[in-house]
Amino acid sequence: MTTGFDAGEHSGRRPTVVAVPGLGLSAAVPRRTLDLLGPPAGVFELPAFGLPAPRSTDLDPCALAERLLARIDAHGPVVLVGHSASCQVVAAAAARTRVAGLVLVGPTTDPRAVGWPTLAARWLRTAGHERPGQVPRLAHDYARTAPGAMLRGMAAARRHRIERALAGVDCPVLVVRGRHDRIAPADWTAALAAAAPRGRAHTLPAGAHMVPITHPAAIAAVIAEFLGRTA
């Protein structure tokens, strides 16, 4: 599903920015950043990543990447933007087709934290740095997606080795994290950037894992700079 796609008067001046919401989140979350970037931009929702996910749905990142690829072909050159577990989806898509660029915000899953206890511990350590004001947004979106679908989506994401996908991506790659993100620690994001032939890592001066909600202006600024470099 495409939501709020806007080609705008700037179509043709830069690649279209296509964002996929993080696991359990709605299109409203990446839209905060895209509205600051301006057109051409759009949010593409996928099962468990903006859309409900029936139990029979294959939530493997590679399967979801195929769904994404079927939708982006009509929009010419694109820069794909993922957040959290959707980073694995957009990375898998970029490994399968040529894109203009790839932006990974708070990517999962660090191989050192694939076990549920370690992953949960990192979430808890990160939660202490998140802004309480985002709770209503999270509660609304998570209830819409359903906890079962989110668990299945995270289980599939834990098995995907995003660094292997990035090794086959030949476009510029930007890996971004909030300063207090323990789910995507600095050494992990640096390793991901190094795995991509044209990768670069950037840590924001503030924020944690949910920076698309809490710091959309900061995310928009680094993406805009990245687009300038890509162009």
Q: What is the pLDDT of residues 49-59, one digit of tens each?
A: 999 999 999 99
Domain extent for 157: 2-230
DSSP string spanning 133-146? Answer: GGHHHHHHHHHHH-
* Residue 219 identity: I
Note the pLDDT of residue 114.
83
* Ranges in the chain, pLDDT < 50: 1, 8-11
Look up the CATH number of the domain holding residue 48: 3.40.50.1820
Domain count, the chain: 1
The answer to whether the CB of 231 falls within 8 A of the CB of 172 is no
Tens of pLDDT, residue by residue over 202-211, are 999 999 999 9
What burial class does residue 89 get, using C-beta atoms within 10 Å of its C-beta: 0-12 exposed, 13-18 middle, 19+ buried? buried
